[in-house]
């Protein structure tokens, strides 16, 4: 929400510079949800949510794997 | 210059750097507080606290219904989120040998800090599609955001209670569940209260899930299956509106929100004051 | 129920922490209404032994026990026996005094009763007074029972823990090095207390202080590397040890 207030909410495939307006997934959903009047529109927005879900999930799982791996190393070394 | 002098200088340098870093970290906090107080205070008057949100073109109006709505939504969410969170925290801390606890901890950490709009959509598909935009749906989504925070802090705080306390209770012939409730939990009261407060502060300020489960509401509380007004959402909507008076309302609502959270802090601290 | 001279009889008691065996085939008969000391060098299993007597060893993850422990003639490791009930018959005092931190002195002593459903204030009052008197702590704290349990000195805290254990009227008192964290004066008080308790309770005390064992106990068991090396009247063990290992330990050659 905070982002959607300042990012400019403009569709652009690739920004030309760091100072261009752009969009984020969460901002799209927030902005267009109330205007989604027909089912396909709503479904499309929820699909964006699904993508966001997977992104978050993958990052989390990666983080956990990294922690788990390094814990294993520590424990392995300590045992020797 | 001998080794000792060099180390003293390095020490000094580090001290200064750390203090600078602290200042840099604190500046956003204080500048936000300052701005909100400065720009929000003029909006707070009796009108503001008693009138509902205005329509386009209406003069005056206030945030009274938004305050009511936020209190209701956060209160409902706590009713669901706090007990579930505390119980999960107890499970993770006291029964951490159970195989289930690995899964619970994993999913809890994943859910913690999950994009709140996705959680809002979850609430949408689950509740809004059957009951409609409602405060129940919003409370549900907010509760899901709350639970990982409460679980995490409860688990951490319970782990701090020394094992000797549990042993003494079990040696007395007190059953395990009673040990947890009466002995371990009472030692961790303050920490659990902190966790609850953190989660309350978090969800009071969440506007994204509220948007997709309730939407904008201009009136007073109208039933659990109807939406209510929400301070955080109003701030969002008014802040980007083209009306000057509405933007002033946004600042005022922000200040009220911060004051509400501060008030909750004070009240909860008073209740968990330690006897010794 | 068989009444016998012996409060506890262990038969082939073995205990493990995971794969590490800590107790090997302990066969011991502990006399009732007497003080039995368990001595031995660090790591010999004496703490594990005493914790097997009130089924506290098994609450540690990966802990295993095999064998029988007869308490008043009944095997407490039998499937039908509820460990919680058994523990109420035995009081335990730990090495480091551990009063419940958030509770007052009164609540600490009453905890065993309160948390098991006893609510009658008069009964609680009388039990608290009786237990504190028994633990020789009443006179020192009677003016302010609502003080925090943690505000007492080390020796007082340990006596508070004893009062707490005595409040549930156990038949046995199990003490795991109760004086090792205390100064000599506090230790002396507790030793007096132990001798007094022996008239009505069966006391088993683990100690690494041999002089203490000689002062306080009627029977002594010497454990080494998880095995019971020698067991008998304290006088016999200290003056005429039958086993060479015992003699070495007592004269301080190791441990």
User: In chain C, what percentage of residues exceed pLDDT 90?
Assistant: 50
Question: What is the per-residue pLDDT for A8?
Answer: 80
d(CA B19, CA C8): 64
Distances (CA, A) of B1 to B7, B16, B253: 10, 21, 59
Tell me which residue in A30, A46, A64 faces B211 most closely, judged by beta carbons.
A30
- The predicted model gives C2-7 an average pLDDT of 70
Count of residues making up chain C:
255
Query: How far is B102 from chain C, CA to nearest CA, in Å?
Result: 16
Whether the CB-CB separation of C45 and C226 falls below 8 Å is answered with: yes
Residues of B in contact with A7 (CB under 8 A): none
User: Are B172 and C87 a contacting pair at CB < 8 A?
Assistant: yes
Best CA proximity match to C203, nearest among C8, C24, C48, C72: C8
**How many contacts, defined by CB atoms under 8 Å, are there between A and B?**
47
Asked if C209 has any chain B CB less than 8 Å from its own CB, the reply is no
Residue of B nearest to A63 (CA): B110
**Chain mean pLDDT for chain C:** 89
Q: Please write the tens of the pLDDT for every residue from C174-206.
A: 999 999 888 898 899 899 999 999 889 999 999
Beta strand C63-71 pairing with C74-75: antiparallel
pLDDT value, residue C1:
44
Best C53, C98, C178 member to test B by mutation, with max B CBs in 10 Å, is C98
- A30-58, pLDDT tens digit by residue? 888 888 888 899 899 999 999 999 999 99
B128 vs B119: CA distance, rounded Å: 13
- Cα distance between residue B74 and residue B57, in whole Å: 30
Q: What CATH number has the domain spanning B70-230? A: 1.10.3720.10
- A 10 A CB-CB count for B10 gives 10
Confirm or reject contact between C116 and chain B (CB < 8 A).
yes
Closest C-alpha among A47, A50, A45, A22 to residue A34: A45
Contacts of C112 in chain B (CB under 8 A): 172-174
- Compute the distance between CA of residue C117 and CA of residue A68 in angstroms, rounded to an integer: 44
Query: Is 80 exceeded by the pLDDT of residue C3?
Result: no
Q: Is chain C in touch with chain A: ≥3 Cβ pairs within 8 A?
A: no
Cα–Cα distance, B215 to B237 (Å, whole number): 10
Spell out which residues of chain A touch residue B207, defining contact as CB-CB under 8 Å: 1
Q: Which residues of chain B have pLDDT under 70?
A: 1, 57-60, 274-276
d(CA C193, CA C159) in angstroms, rounded, equals: 9
C17 has a chain B CB within 8 A of its CB: no
Q: Where are the domains of chain C?
A: 100-169
Pure H helices in B64-213: 64-94, 99-111, 116-123, 129-131, 135-160, 163-171, 176-178, 185-187, 189-204, 208-213
Average pLDDT over residues C236-251: 87
Residue among C101, C148, C151 minimizing CB distance to B165: C101
Neighbours of chain C (3+ CB pairs under 8 A): B
CB B212 within 8 A of CB B118: no
DSSP letter at C104 equals B
Which uninterrupted H or E stretch holds C101? none
ipTM over 0.90: no
pLDDT of residue A80: 43
* pLDDT score recorded for residue A78: 53
Cα–Cα nearest to B167, from B159, B179, B177 = B179
Closest CB from A26, A57, A60 relative to B117: A26
Instruction: Report the pLDDT value the prediction gives residue B58, as an integer from 0 to 100.
Output: 67
For the cut 50, the answer to whether the pLDDT of residue C16 exceeds it is yes
Rounded to the nearest angstrom, the gap between the alpha carbon of residue C105 and the centroid of all alpha carbons in its chain is: 21
Distances (CA, A) of B108 to B88, B114, B123, B145, C126: 9, 10, 18, 10, 48
- Residue of B107, B112, B113, B117 to mutate, testing the A interface (most A Cβ within 10 Å of its Cβ): B117
φ/ψ (deg, to 5) at B223: 125, 155
Contact B109 A5 (CB under 8 A): no
Residues of chain B in contact with residue A33, where contact means CB-CB under 8 angstroms, are 211-212
Q: Which among B168, B172, B187 is the nearest to C168, CB-wise?
A: B172
> Which pLDDT value is given to residue A7?
83
């Amino acid at each position: 929400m905070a982002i959607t207030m300042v990012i400019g909410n403009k569709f652009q495939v690739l920004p030309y510079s760091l100072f261009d307006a752009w969009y984020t997934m969460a901002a799209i959903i927030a902005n267009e949800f109330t205007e989604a009047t027909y089912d396909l529109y709503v479904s499309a927005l929820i699909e964006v949510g699904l993508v966001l879900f997977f992104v978050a999930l993958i990052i989390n799982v990666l983080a956990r794997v990294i922690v788990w791996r390094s814990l294993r190393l520590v424990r392995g070394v300590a045992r020797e | 210059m001998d080794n000792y002098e060099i180390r003293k200088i390095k020490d000094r340098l580090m001290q200064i750097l750390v203090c600078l870093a602290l200042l840099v970290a604190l500046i956003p906090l204080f500048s936000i507080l300052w701005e909100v107080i400065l720009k929000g205070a003029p909006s707070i008057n009796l009108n503001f606290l008693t009138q509902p949100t205005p329509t386009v073109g209406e003069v005056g109006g206030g945030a009274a219904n938004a305050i009511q709505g936020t209190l209701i939504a956060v209160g409902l969410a706590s009713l669901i989120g706090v007990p579930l969170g505390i119980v999960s925290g107890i499970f993770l801390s006291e029964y951490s040998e159970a195989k289930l606890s690995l899964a619970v901890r994993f999913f809890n950490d994943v859910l913690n800090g999950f994009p709140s709009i996705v959680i809002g959509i979850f609430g949408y598909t689950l509740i809004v599609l059957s009951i409609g935009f409602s405060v129940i749906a919003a409370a549900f989504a907010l509760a899901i955001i709350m639970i990982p925070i409460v679980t995490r802090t409860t688990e951490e705080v319970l782990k701090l209670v020394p094992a000797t306390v549990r042993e003494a209770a079990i040696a007395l012939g007190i059953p395990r569940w009673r040990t947890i409730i009466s002995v371990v939990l009472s030692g961790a009261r303050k920490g659990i209260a902190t966790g609850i407060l953190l989660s309350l502060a978090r969800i009071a300020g969440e506007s994204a899930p509220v948007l997709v489960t309730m939407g904008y509401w201009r009136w007073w509380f109208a039933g659990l299956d109807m939406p209510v007004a929400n301070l955080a959402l109003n701030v969002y909507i008014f802040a980007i509106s083209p009306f000057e008076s509405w933007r002033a309302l946004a600042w005022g609502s922000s200040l009220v929100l911060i004051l509400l959270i501060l008030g909750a802090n004070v009240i909860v601290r008073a209740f968990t004051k330690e006897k010794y | 129920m068989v009444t016998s001279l012996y409060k506890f009889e262990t038969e082939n008691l073995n205990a493990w922490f995971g794969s590490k065996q800590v107790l090997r085939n302990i066969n011991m008969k502990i006399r009732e209404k007497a003080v039995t000391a368990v001595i031995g060098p660090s790591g010999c299993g004496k703490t594990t032994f005493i914790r097997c007597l009130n089924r506290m060893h098994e609450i540690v993850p990966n802990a295993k026990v095999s064998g029988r422990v007869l308490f008043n003639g009944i095997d407490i490791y039998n499937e039908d026996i509820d460990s919680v009930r058994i523990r109420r018959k035995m009081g335990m005092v730990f090495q480091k005094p551990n009063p419940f931190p958030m509770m007052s002195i009164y609540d600490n002593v009453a905890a065993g009763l309160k948390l098991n459903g006893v609510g009658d204030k008069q009964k609680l009052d009388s039990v608290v007074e009786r237990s504190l008197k028994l633990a020789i702590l009443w006179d020192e704290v009677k003016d302010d029972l609502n003080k925090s349990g943690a505000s007492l000195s080390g020796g007082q805290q340990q006596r508070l823990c004893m009062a707490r254990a005595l409040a549930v009227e156990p038949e046995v008192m199990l003490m795991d090095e109760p004086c090792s964290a205390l100064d000599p004066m506090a230790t002396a008080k507790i030793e007096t207390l132990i001798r007094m308790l022996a008239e009505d309770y069966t006391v088993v005390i683990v100690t690494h202080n041999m002089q203490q064992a000689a002062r306080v106990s009627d029977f002594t068991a010497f454990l080494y590397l998880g095995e019971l090396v020698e067991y008998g009247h304290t006088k016999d063990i200290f003056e005429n040890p039958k086993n060479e290992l015992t003699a070495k330990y007592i004269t301080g050659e190791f441990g």
